[in-house]
Structure 1
């Protein structure tokens, strides 16, 4: 009989790829989400009945326990960028993560994989990093043999990194950046999913920092993106004090509007995060210890950023037509 996995936040960016990995390996998968009707797209990841979205609120013990019944392993992918509201950093990334681990231990579940973030163990002013660190501590308090994955910024077709900057390139010849010299080590979402699958199957445990094969500054990665979408833009690295001031203004607008106008541009917490490099530390366990060779950014982004090119999917045809002689 196939084994059962409960994955919290399984319809999110990283979660859906983990679901695909485990379904392909024959696991039955419960995808625990707040809105199952918006997660129906996960059902075709397996044969009929193999992958099912189920209702769960990770802020509630009974809800978490109900969808975990009978599971052989659990994965927690739930995260947030919301500093306020009921589903804030503390409620989701600290208390929610510990709740899942505590109930998994109570139910006698042997294996747990927790998706954290690179830099969670470092002393940062960011509330995001602080609650990620608290979540890790809570998980290990109840599930000491858990696998914890700390990925750098994750890229893939649905990412909020390269897609975001490519979208910004549509608004004019200047592309402003904050933290342009901050270093990043983007990691492919499928590689993170492969690592999680190894933990679910009980082949590894402990903390792993996951980064791609190359490190560049934010400005450098934006340059790679611009080359991919065949656009020239003047990339301007603005001082961080300007970024912090603008982030404060955006946050105040959200607060004054009681959340009706969301801050999807730059929050104060994100501005604080941009002050620290996002790269794998020396001497830690990573992809090599899992037998995974990470995929390079340039090998993937061309497959989904083409829509930002001047002529979209026909850009290459347009360029080749220039060489035709009449």
Structure 2
């Protein structure tokens, strides 16, 4: 990949997925604009490239003129915007549909050559979860405005800053038990954030990816129960796993989502999401179609960042020299 003369605008580039992608885009030599509400929070990424190559750019994705400025002169646009729960103006409709449509429409008007839009496996207008319905509506809006856009749908994404394994590992530190919502049978195909970032770059390189949708899952499918067991093994804790029936989980989530904290522990919409598997559909285009065949597994990656949850540290209880 070489875009030395190009400008790439990344919406949501300072988030979990964005920080891994920005480092890869920087290697291409392109100027990378990180379109974000708070440029100060993206400043740490400037060291990923040469002086002046990574440019945090104040952008309000609710306003046409702000998005248009971020796209002015850009050759490529990448939309990583997403929220896992709704808070105030950050609704699923506003972020997954309205902002996505605005970015696609204004990218087309600005003459941007390529658009990559990050969605999610499970995006479905008929889903019981508002999150998944909004992701489906966002895809439709993007393709209506920018028909050659590439849609990437990952399963749950894991890595050092993830919101899944870190969340449950922190819970295992304090809670006497861990909840198996609906019995823990829901299936996932976790994808490493580095592999997802590679897929975005590959989609930009592949001319045949225009207008296509790719479902991105890791090398193995796990049940929710298996993922909690794997996480507990890595942090050397063994909390009992207690089945939480769907109706009890919904009632609990209804209470938790009303607590005025930054991130609710559980929402009713997340419970609804757990009623469907998050795995690559049979026959869907995937990593192999983007030329990516080697994928990182949970077993290899999780110990590299969950070790901070081990009592006494990574080498506690080990004999011999620790290197």
Scaled by the length of structure 2, what TM-score is found?
Answer: 0.93
SS state of the match for residue 289, structure 2?
A: helix
Deviations 1:31-78 (A, max 9, x none): 000000111111011111110111001110000000111111000000
Equivalent pair of 2:77/2:107 in contact (CA under 8 Å) = yes
The aligned residue for residue 299 of structure 2 is 298
Mapped to 1, the partners of 2:298 and 2:125 lie a distance apart of: 26
Given candidates 205, 208, 219, the residue that maps to 1:213 is 219
- Residues 117-147 of structure 1 show CA distances to partners (whole Å, capped at 9, x for unaligned) of 1110362111111111111001101111111
8 Å Cα contact 2:213-2:285 kept in structure 1 = yes
Match of 1:102 in 2: 105
Q: How does 1:18-167 map to 2 (within 5 A)?
A: 18-121=21-124, 123-167=126-170
Query: How many aligned positions are there?
Result: 313
Unpaired stretches in structure 1, ≥5 consecutive residues: 255-259, 322-326
Query: Counterpart of 1:184?
Result: 188
3-state secondary structure, aligned to 2:319: helix
Contact 2:100–2:141 (CA<8 Å) still a contact in 1?
yes
After superposition, residues 237-248 of structure 1 pair within 5 angstroms as 237-248=243-254
1:202, CA displacement in angstroms? 4.5
Counterpart Cα distance in 2 of 1:18 and 1:124 = 29
SS in 2 for 1:312: coil
Contact 2:85 2:267 in 1 (8 A): no
Which moves more between the two structures, 182-191 or 74-83? 74-83
Is the CA contact (8 Å cut-off) linking 2:206 and 2:290 kept in structure 1?
A: no
**Equivalents in 1 of 2:262, 2:176: separation in Å?**
26
- Maintained 8 Å contact 2:59/2:70: yes
Consecutive unaligned residues of structure 2, counting only runs of 5 or more, are: none
CA RMSD of aligned residues (A): 1.4
Does the aligned pair in 2 maintain the 1:111–1:145 contact within 8 Å? yes
Paired residues for 1:188-267 under 5 Å = 188-203=192-207, 204-205=209-210, 206-251=212-257, 253-254=258-259, 260-262=260-262, 264-267=264-267
Mapped contact 1:19–1:29 kept (Cα < 8 A): yes
Cα distance in 1, alignment partners of residues 162 and 261 from structure 2: 23
Name the structure 2 match of 1:319: 318
Change (3 A) 1:195 1:128: same
Q: TM-score, normalised by structure 1?
A: 0.92
Shift of 1:262: 4.6
Cα offset, 1:208, TM superposition: 0.2
Q: 2:310 aligned with 1:309, yes or no?
A: yes
Deviation at 1:175, TM superposition (A): 1.7
Q: Does the Cα contact within 8 Å between 1:114 and 1:148 map onto a contact in 2?
A: yes
Give the deviation of 1:177 after TM superposition.
2.6
- Mapped to 1, the partners of 2:32 and 2:21 lie a distance apart of 10
Question: Structure 1 residues 28, 82: CA separation in 2 closer, same or farther (over 3 Å shift)?
Answer: same
Question: For 2:202 and 2:29, how far apart are their aligned partners in 1?
Answer: 14
